Chains A and B, each alone.
Chain A
Amino acid sequence: MNALPRHHHGASGVAGPLLYLRRSHAVALGEWVEIRMPDRSPWRGQVIDAGREVTVIQVLEETVGLAPAQATITLTGEEASTVVGRELLGRAFNGIGSPIDGLPAPVGEATRPIWGAPLNPVRRARPADFIETGISAIDGMNTLVRGQKLPVFSGPGLPGLELAARIVEQARAPRDEAFAVVFVGIGITARETDAFLERFDRSGARERSVLYLNQTRDPTIERLLAPRVALTQAEYLAFELGMHVLVVIADLTHYCEALREIATAREEIPGRRGYPGYMYSDLASIYERAGVLTGRLGSVTQIPILTMPDDDITHPIPDLTGYITEGQVVLSRDLHRKGVFPPVDVLPSLSRLMNAGIGEGKTRPEHRAWANQLYASYARGCEARLMAAIVGEAGLSPVDRRALAFSERFETAFVGQGERRRGIEATLESGWQLLEELPREDLTRLSDAAWAARSARATAGAAE
């Protein structure tokens, strides 16, 4: 790109967020545009369809009051970019990177295009460093590692954001390395934002974080830029300054709705439930911006949060997300009603990178077998619960009855840890205690070796 700016007097039309320009030359796809009218602050936009006959510009602010014939349109010759740098830590911006904390705009250390380029897959290093979140259902059963993208599938009214806040507050990297948080709020309410920030402040995480907040009242279309502006900053901190960056994005559901709105405005053929057919690729261009690079220090880890409409995990938003991310942490309304916090349903939850992050030298050698056994016993208990609903507990076999009792305790004592942070040792210990209440023959996933190792350690612990 990098052509000189060109000015057009008058556009041919505007419809919703789209502005149409006739007979323009040398327009570049993705080019950044400024639209001016007398006595108004300029609008910003981007070329999404460059054509000799008609060029379409997506305007990033509310287009109310835009009179196309009277506007001056400047094609800037540049692509959408944002200022990045260490200096942004501790600051708050809106979705397109303008300060909202009353301080002057940062000069930054560099300006980077927000769309990013795909990481060359051969330059990626395999994520394998355990991040201790202090949450048993995650650390023990669905371990998070550096460079992973692990979303939280929440539901309306479920504490997804609260769980994310807690992770940010509690997360410990294995070695005491430089780490930062980038938080992107997309279409979330002021109340939610405040609650989140309050936790942040309390934990002293504020100085090492950068906030990008697109609030409910902000233009929808800005929602499409917010995560990209934020990830550009995250990548800079990670890959150029060598920091370990945790990116929390809430709420992706609002992002997808904005995407649908634009697609509708462009009269595109709608895909499932009205969402555009390219939503998979679009979401991937956000989620895939997580990772670790060979020979560089830092990492980008993403925890996106989304709300499953109607608690429906097959809805296109969670569905496409699950197809891109490396697992998911699913919240359960049932557990929430029972007062379990965090209400993580471990069965549909998954961390695909867990195996690389656990075991000898990372957590404990028997971590895998331990988790397999907890899963097996809990799954059996849940199955028994369904059966008991029909035939009554008395109709269950003794093994099933034990599994049922186990699953109840697993939910309240292990998953439902409440407000306290649990280190990985405490998490494993809590799981062992539940398993030990079952007779040895019910623990078919535990080899004698794993069992012996545990018994030896338990005895040694008791002797101390």
Chain B
Amino acid sequence: MSDVARLVRIVGALAEAEPLAEGASLYELVRVGNRGLLGEVVRIAGRRGTIQVYEETSGLSLGEPVTLTHEALTIELGPGLLGGVLDGVGRPLVDVALHHGDFVTPGTTSPTLDAARRWAFTPTVPPGSVVQGGDQLGTVEERPGFVHRVLVPPDISGTVASIDGGDFTVHEPFGRLTDDTPLCLAHRWPVRRPRPVSQRLASHVPFITGQRVFDLLFPVAEGGSVALPGGFGTGKTVIEQSLAKYAKADVVIYVGCGERGNEMAEVLEEFPHLTDLRTGQSVMDRTVLLVNTSNMPVAAREASVYVGITIAEFYRDMGYRVALMADSLSRWAEALREISARLQEMPGEEGYPTYLGNRLGQFYERAGLVTTLGQPPREGSLTVIGAISPPGGDFSEPVTQASLRVTGALWALDPELAHQRQFPAVDWETSYSLHAESTTAWFVAHVDADWPAVRRETLALLQRDRDLREIAALVGPEALQDEDRLLLEAARLVRDHVLGQSAYDPNDALSTLTKTFLLASLAREVLTAGTRALAAGRSFEQLELTGITRLMAELRSAPIGELDARAAALRQALEGVAG
């Protein structure tokens, strides 16, 4: 039977074709129409196949051919991904621009990896080695200082017959197994299938974000997952981008899923010029961007998160610490909803398909700290931070709720705080992390023995602050006792200068754990000194805390080298307060 069917219906991102060959399978990749648009079979009913098309369908005509490829939607994995900008199905956008100009037109076939580029391969096993999936065969320096471990693809095993060092393209075999299987730098992997691991591990090491509010109050473990919901303009993208720039990770996968083109222009302008402090290399060197903006085809938006997480797993398998930022999973869910509606499936809550929760769960489940397959033994982690855009900023909606069932932390953003320009606009009352306890020991060992106490007292102060502010709103702050007024002032200090952090202040955009601890401790000392002074009989007005606030504000935006001196000055000023 022929592998070619004909289009009998085209509506939105879906097309139907007949007669579909009997061997056609679900989620098989097809080429649609005269221009060969990419599509995926999402339903088979008798001889009729329904296809989700990853490119603009406008202009497709009834009767045009649909060709089966007998492959699932896969992504090509190999050296050259880092620093790249790919569309939702893995086509490099720079290459697309080269062939098609400034606008994206359908029917592009740019391969993910540069087929012409040669890489210097150094073998690390001799011929005769018995190898299986995940075993390291050799290395390539993918970016300056970045060792790309070339592994046996998960599904393959055998005895190495030959293996050579030298310069190879991603498709030229550098060796063979005895059964003649070629060994290449690149292999393909179906994006909807999680890459296998040897073992999943519990994690006690925090994923260090460089953002005070998260590191101090809501730390997530490496390999954990976070839901980051917030109404429009509350700072999701700024946070995701800050994490991509400053978080402690070897590889960052940034999935811009159904968001703005200009935001991507910003990333592309900024990242190459930013230095990763740990490696001294450009931040872009550790980043892969996946971009499917809101006006690009909706079906590719659905695929983009899977393409992204597959690339993330690929680097995790090499034993790296990988972080994936998805902005925003709501747009992914909406794509799912749109396709489901066109398929006339029974809608669940708010029109989303009933399997939304399941799919989201499967996606987040791909995060984790693992022992990878193969030798030498490696640990790799994949941390996922998913932004969510709830309609009207209301968290009771299905995407937020389904995410909360599977993620280990909630970083909730609040429009009220954003309107007051209190950034990051994290609502610390709603936010939580299930990893706060398990990561404590690490902070004690690596930052300060007092870390847990400072964290606990900061949270307690904020809690007390909320209660007091409710009372103050009824009776007026002047009617409060001096102790309470002091507490309000200390809490303001914490909100403004410990939790508050400007992404645009070059000295404060990244906060080291030392700095985070210093600021939180200083705020605590202010409260202690003030309490002591009040106990000694001074009045709240006599404390004159405004000077202290200014010192704190200046300290947080001072260059890192000045922190100690400024902290000493602040402590000295505090002695004046305490009297």
Contacts and interface: CB of A to CB of B under 8 A. Distances in A.
A22 interface: no
A158 interface: no
A284 interface: yes
A13 interface: no
A319 B232 contact: yes
Interface stretch (B163-171, B202-210, B279-287, B550-558): B550-558
A397 B421 contact: no
A118 B11 contact: no
Nearest to B341: A269
**Of B61, B94, B101, B475, which is in contact with the most chain A CB atoms at under 10 Å from its CB?**
B61
B63 A25 contact: yes
Given A1-B59, A120-B103, A272-B350, A395 B477 contact: yes
B103 A118 contact: yes
Nearest to B545: A441
Nearest to B96: A120
Contact of B554 (A281, A352, A448): A448
Contact of A29 (B10, B294, B419): B10
**Of B59, B94, B269, which is in contact with the most chain A CB atoms at under 10 Å from its CB?**
B59
A110 to B, nearest CB: 15
Contacts of B472: 387
Contacts of A434: none
15 contacts: A1-B61, A50-B11, A52-B9, A119-B102, A120-B93, A120-B96, A120-B97, A121-B268, A122-B268, A124-B262, A125-B265, A239-B102, A281-B258, A319-B231, A444-B553
Contact of A51 (B11, B265, B391): B11
A51 B504 contact: no
Contact of A24 (B62, B101, B391): B62
A397 B478 CA distance: 6
B304 interface: no
Contact of A122 (B97, B298, B474): B97
Interface stretch (B67-75, B331-339, B373-381): B331-339
B272 to A, nearest CB: 12
Main secondary structure of the interface of A (DSSP, over half): mixed
A28 interface: yes
A99 B291 CA distance: 39
Number of contact residues on B: which range applies?
35 or more
A48 interface: yes
Interface in B80-122: 85, 93-94, 96-97, 100-105
Contacts of B351: 269-271, 277
Interface in B191-240: 231-233
A447 B558 CA distance: 10
Interface stretch (A66-74, A216-224, A321-329): A321-329
Interface string B471-500: 011111111000001000000000010000
Nearest to A320: B391
Given A50-B11, A120-B103, A379-B421, A280 B474 contact: no
A342 interface: no
B59 A79 contact: yes
Given A29-B58, A444-B553, A123 B478 contact: no
**Of B62, B63, B231, which is in contact with the most chain A CB atoms at under 10 Å from its CB?**
B62
A447 B264 contact: no
Interface string A111-128: 000011111111111110
B104 A117 contact: yes
A144 interface: no
Contacts of A239: 102
**Of B105, B295, B549, which is in contact with the most chain A CB atoms at under 10 Å from its CB?**
B295
Given A117-B104, A271-B351, A395-B477, A376 B338 contact: no
Nearest to A382: B420
B392 A319 contact: yes
B60 interface: yes
A124 B261 contact: yes
A346 B101 CA distance: 39
Nearest to B347: A269
Given A277-B341, A355-B504, A447-B557, A288 B295 contact: yes
Contacts of B101: 120, 123
A379 B61 contact: no
**Of A28, A291, A396, A448, which is in contact with the most chain B CB atoms at under 10 Å from its CB?**
A28
Interface residues of A, number: 89
A347 B420 contact: yes
A266 to B, nearest CB: 10
A293 B264 contact: no
B58 A49 contact: no
A268 interface: yes
A13 to B, nearest CB: 18
B389 interface: yes
A395 B233 contact: no
Given A52-B9, A278-B338, A291-B261, A117 B474 contact: no
Contacts of A456: none
Contacts of B256: 121
B429 interface: no
A148 interface: yes
Interchain residue pairs A-B with the least CB separation, the first 4: A395-B476, A284-B294, A314-B392, A391-B476
Interface in A347-375: 347-348, 350, 352-353, 355-356, 368, 372, 375
A139 interface: no
A50 B62 contact: yes
Interface in B299-341: 331, 334, 337-338, 341
Contacts of A53: 8-9
Contact of A391 (B103, B389, B394, B475): B475
A400 interface: yes
B471 to A, nearest CB: 11
A285 interface: yes
A125 B298 CA distance: 24
Interface string A1-20: 10100000000000000000
Interface in A287-330: 288-289, 291, 293, 296, 314-316, 319-320, 322-324, 326-328
A121 B58 contact: no
A140 interface: no
B473 A324 contact: no
Nearest to B294: A284
A421 interface: no
A336 interface: no
Contacts of A445: 553
**Of B11, B94, B101, which is in contact with the most chain A CB atoms at under 10 Å from its CB?**
B11
A124 B264 contact: yes
Interface in A23-62: 24-31, 48-53
A390 interface: yes
A372 B553 CA distance: 13
A147 interface: yes
Given A27-B61, A79-B58, 18 more contacts: A26-B62, A28-B62, A29-B11, A53-B8, A122-B268, A268-B341, A281-B334, A284-B293, A288-B293, A319-B232, A322-B232, A326-B262, A379-B420, A379-B421, A387-B477, A395-B475, A395-B476, A442-B546
B262 A353 contact: yes
B433 interface: no
**Of B85, B102, B554, which is in contact with the most chain A CB atoms at under 10 Å from its CB?**
B102
Interface string B538-564: 000000001101100110010000000
Interface string B122-166: 000000000000000000000000000000000000000000000
